[in-house]
Amino acid sequence: MTSAQPVSSSVAWGDYDAILFDLDGVVTPTAEVHMRAWAEMFNAFLTAFDGAGDTSPYADADYFAHVDGKPRYEGVADFLASRGIELPEGSDDDPGTEQTVKGLGNRKNDAFNEVLERDGVTAYPGSVALLDHLRDLGKPLAVVSSSANAPAVLAAAGLADRFVTVVDGRVAKELGLPGKPAPDTFLHAAEVLGATHATSVVLEDAVSGVKAGRAGGFVLVIGVDRGAGVQTLTDAGADLVVPDLADTLPRDRARG
């Protein structure tokens, strides 16, 4: 089955067996919270670090190039490598004060959880409209997220009951599944839903996630442009790129 999709915003959702959603930046605007948490953590680290490497300020471009969509520790390692900074890997329980890859990752996670608890999160209206449409169609849905915070985010947004399964960072670690841009977490979610790559749709806002969908051979990979850029997501393998998931609805359902 070809992976090509006609250039049209509206999607014939009834043609597919399962729909696989990334979470941050696709269902909820928590990508913005993640971006702020990463920036605060990395800039504090770079300001204090006195070792070898490029310690110029961290920018949004670094997030999209090295961090977005990846498992947290891999994002830290990739960013540090891009700056020529070497740190020991450390252990999963390293405190945020520890100058290790995992210590920095844990410091970022602490910051994210503080913001989530303080401010909560509201899902994108267009994404909720699509979730409502898919519920009416009886389509099984999954969240596939590199974040270990996915269940907490879904609960905060009041959407936990919409998804049959959540394949997050913790599940991936337990099952030994490599994270995005490898396709394994998406393939596992499709299998849990009783579907295959040939009958499932992937929805992603991150380059690494789009690459994962394409590497998995999914029949349709939709990029949601929350800042990465239409051409960037297209080059990564998206069949269709939209600014909002409401744009994929039938005309009579779009925008309510």
What is the rounded distance in angstroms from the CA atom of residue 195 to the CA atom of residue 63? 32
Tokens 């844990």, residue? Answer: 106
Are 45 and 55 contacting, i.e. CB atoms less than 8 angstroms apart?
no
Sign of CA dihedral 128, 114, 68, 187: negative
Can 24 be counted among the known catalytic residues? yes
Can 22 be counted among the known catalytic residues? yes
3-state helix, strand, coil in the chain (%, to 5): 50, 10, 40
Six-digit token pair at 33?
A: 């919270």
Q: Which of 15, 17, 22, 50 is catalytic?
A: 22
Six-digit token pair at 165?
A: 């399964």
Q: In 3D, which of 159, 133, 134 has the Cα closest to residue 145? A: 159
Buried b or exposed e, range 147-169, using 16+ CB within 10 angstroms: bbbbbbbbebbebeebbebbbbb
What is the rounded distance in angstroms from the CA atom of residue 137 to the CA atom of residue 131? 10
In terms of phi and psi (left: phi > 0; alpha: psi -120 to 50; beta: otherwise), the region of 248 is alpha
Q: Which of 15, 17, 24, 225 is catalytic?
A: 24
- Which residues are tagged catalytic? 22, 24
